[in-house]
Structure 1
């Protein structure tokens, strides 16, 4: 009973930054999806779905915030197995093809993206796996090879869904967990070389010719702005026309079918257009606060599993946010990556809010300033 009395409060700054990002996301999803909604005879279609997902996400976050994260370690193998099984559902009749990619599973009452489940499942499993091998972290045969198999399996499941952007995001996240666990620098170099070779092969293969076209379009998007450079050019137009203060909430021009899926893969461009540099900077600042608090939690938790789990969650949010913003600003080739907490998407929102819930629970076991 004494332990229950001494239960600490969670990290309030982390909680506030997350809720603000979700709130901004709901407003921006409504604004950017309005034209698409009108075309579907319901301007509020995307807003209603996003609010519903945010409600479920909040329940999940509150649940995990009060659910001892150490129990997750015991369930890590089961969680990982379920996440991989959800990925295999894509290749059953439940799998749904949208825009040429098979990435969704239709359960009848709802659809979900298994890639989001695989991301969290593999982070939990790898954190648990490495925390049990803390004395053998530098052992190539006993730790590095099994870790490479786990990373390969997790990323391979997502790559089969023709989602290279998410594959790279997860790969970088899992390698960062292994790096923090104390892997050898030579092993890291080996993994980077292997990943680079795999990435080059994925881009240059004949069956994925569109990826090569995206790469050449990135080098000069304005050279073919009517075709391969279209998304990048329209995104830059949106950001450029926003200026310092933006055109005003709801006054975006690029959301009127110039940018494909402005409420998802290019939502940051609409934020820049409607809310200007200050709006975009505010969103980046909230992500920086969230990441900073997450890093503090990972650094101060005494339990290795808690440290690696917090590292994985923070790395995933960091990498995905960076890739989304880099794509929107044409700093890297175009790839479909949503902005965590902000972009439209029920599975993504619920999974990210659940992840923050786990992070908040870890913060309750840390001796640091809560404010």
Structure 2
């Protein structure tokens, strides 16, 4: 007999707190810039607040829809993600910003297909790994098809170009395959073959090469390529142990680029100090641990793969962003889940959390 239990209240509470905190930090980090650019200091606050409200509704709906329902839409979702990734490359359809075509513009809002592609890939792998688990040890029948699908997504992302999202998808896919039982030799072979491609993708493109050099020695060009990370370090240094106080940060005043998106964690460090940084990091860590526990207790293979994939996707996104703003990783242009400004990222993350919470509500078959 199948039994139900309550949703994982720890994850639910963590996500609600992080999202609401994110709305506050978006306002704190963007109000001055928004007032100068849009003559409205509440511009980003109002939009992020609407995204959060819509995201909570989506999360609530996903919490109450059996996660197995989404399995029927797996191929449709994957096809839609591919179509959107192609659409952004079409001149006049995709919005080109800073030399990259990563957004589809609609009246009043925009969509970043890379975020949809990450979700679609996790759902596809969860569905296929559960269905073909006995063939996973076969390179031709079990491993190669996954590489072709993932390779298609990576190719479309690199054409935008969006190397950061491509790396995320590649790492999540290989990790899900490893956890599912794929041969380590297959995974290592793919990783080794990808290294020359990754090297060329970075070192043969000027701005990516300069990012790597800035990561290795930001003081070599402190007013250009090293500017972001040096300003981020300055923000953390100014924050000290307890921070300067919410809203009192100085680096967001046109010193720290992308303060409300990619580098919002730096604003947290300056305004709330080491304690604030530690609390936010701990919350994401607890989220990951609870998510892995949900995966272990899921009632079927599909639920296990899906819960792990969604948890790893969100957790890795968070810790990559933190690593970048702390100077531990090269700049990748990835948002901090739940905190950074951005509608597509927030909505897809809250949907993923809703699905994860639904899995947490399910239990296996037990004897009556």
2:151 corresponds to: 152
Query: SS of 1:103's equivalent?
Result: strand
Equivalent pair of 1:238/1:269 in contact (CA under 8 Å):
yes
Question: Taking structure 1 as the reference length, what is the TM-score of the superposition?
Answer: 0.95
CA distance in 2, matches of 1:88, 1:125: 19
CA distance in 2, matches of 1:194, 1:72: 33
Query: SS of 2:317's equivalent?
Result: helix
Equivalent pair of 1:126/1:150 in contact (CA under 8 Å):
no
1:240 corresponds to: 237
Residue 302 of structure 1, CA deviation: 3.0
Structure 1 segment 26-175 matched on structure 2, within 5 A? 26-39=23-36, 40-92=38-90, 93-175=92-174
1:214 corresponds to: 211
The unaligned stretches of length 5 or more in structure 1 are: none
1:316 aligns with 2:313: yes
CA distance in 2, matches of 1:230, 1:244: 24
1:188 corresponds to: 187
Residue 261 of structure 1, CA deviation: 1.0
CA distance in 2, matches of 1:250, 1:99: 29
Residue 99 of structure 1, CA deviation: 2.1
Query: SS of 2:134's equivalent?
Result: coil
Residue 195 of structure 1, CA deviation: 2.6
* Aligned with 1:296 (options 281, 293, 308): 293
Residue 86 of structure 1, CA deviation: 1.5
Residue 65 of structure 1, CA deviation: 0.6
Query: SS of 1:250's equivalent?
Result: coil
Equivalent pair of 2:89/2:160 in contact (CA under 8 Å):
no
Q: Deviations over 1:32-82 (max 9, x none)?
A: 011211112000000000000001100110111111111111211111111
Question: RMSD of the alignment, in Å?
Answer: 1.3
Alignment size in residue pairs: 362
Q: Deviations over 1:185-244 (max 9, x none)?
A: 101111211232221111022xx2111111111111112101110001000000111000
* Aligned with 2:20 (options 12, 23, 42): 23
CA distance in 1, matches of 2:349, 2:317: 11
Question: Taking structure 2 as the reference length, what is the TM-score of the superposition?
Answer: 0.96
CA distance in 1, matches of 2:299, 2:359: 10
Residue 100 of structure 1, CA deviation: 2.1
Q: Where does structure 1 differ by over 6 angstroms across 4 or more consecutive aligned residues?
A: none
Query: SS of 1:351's equivalent?
Result: helix
Query: SS of 1:183's equivalent?
Result: coil
